[in-house]
Amino acid sequence: MLPIARILVPVDFSERVRGVLPWARAFAAQYHARVTLMHVVSPFLVIPPTGLSGEVWLPITGSAVVDKAKELDEWAPGELEGVEVQRLVYEGDPVGQLVSFAASEKIDLVVTSTHGYGVLRRFLIGSVAAKLLHDLECPVLTGVHLAESADGPVEIRKVLCSVDLGAETGSTISYAAELARDFGGTLEVIHVVPELSSRLEPEASARWKSDLLADLSSAAAAAGAESADLRIEGGDIAETVCARAGVVGASILVVSRGAREESGKRLSGEAYAIVRQSPCPVLSL
């Protein structure tokens, strides 16, 4: 069973955040975890520039924290029924406070909305969600359809795991396999190579796929996922993975954000594109 004991949900009191609570509750119930609802009050109210003035920063009064704490205590009283809930209000930079809290409290999973809207929503995620994906060490569950995907009880029947056969492949498959087992679902693992196969002769393409499938099979076996369905595809990585998620009706898509860079960031461009385009929630490791 996955070691998930502490779950963090950033709260801005929007309906989209309320919509992710069934996912937080499902994971908390499965792993007997505590859910922390955290709202961060910025010390300044920013008024956007107008034709007559530039951007204006106004200090927030001291009572704002008290007012938000009261609002959080009364917010979404029934959505997390049956699980342990902690409600906290901090002051400062939202991303900095959330990342610091997640590290100091050893948070095992962050569940957050993306705040993409309108006809371009599938190509957008909010700035806070993007920064959290870059900066957090722990797994993050998000996606542009996360708040829409839990009309009823959350069920994870099909886990799709996308890997690049790099250094993170084994740990990513292992996590996805354990998740599928914990929720009684099935697992499929997919590896996509960008457009290479289309330029190969049929015989060479078949050998190429066979070799990659052997590598993927070895990685899955080493990760304890011998029963997983395995698939090799060629094409645009994000588009192919997300299309596959739609075809198989994946409940959740598991990806790796990649190894941490010297700058401290670790969200790869492909992982970011998958989060933006996936038809189902994405759990990024």
Q: Residues 97-152: pLDDT tens digits? A: 999 999 999 999 999 987 644 433 444 456 777 888 888 999 999 987 776 655 67
**pTM tops 0.75:** yes
pLDDT of residue 149: 59
pLDDT of residue 271: 85
Cβ-based neighbour number of residue 46 at 10 Å: 10
Q: What fold is seen in the domain 155-285?
A: Rossmann fold (3.40.50)
Which CATH class, in words, describes the domain spanning 1-148? Answer: alpha beta
pLDDT less than 50: residues of the chain: 116-124, 263
pLDDT of residue 66: 87
Show Cβ contacts of residue 125 under 8 Å, excluding neighbours closer than 6 positions. 114, 115, 116, 133, 142, 144, 272, 275, 276
Q: Where are the alpha helices (DSSP H) in the chain?
A: 15-31, 63-74, 94-104, 127-135, 169-183, 202-222, 237-248, 269-277
Residue 33: closest CA among 4, 56, 53: 4
- Residue range(s) in the chain whose domain bears CATH number 3.40.50.620: 1-148, 155-285
Cβ(130)–Cβ(272) below 8 Å = yes
pLDDT of residue 272: 84
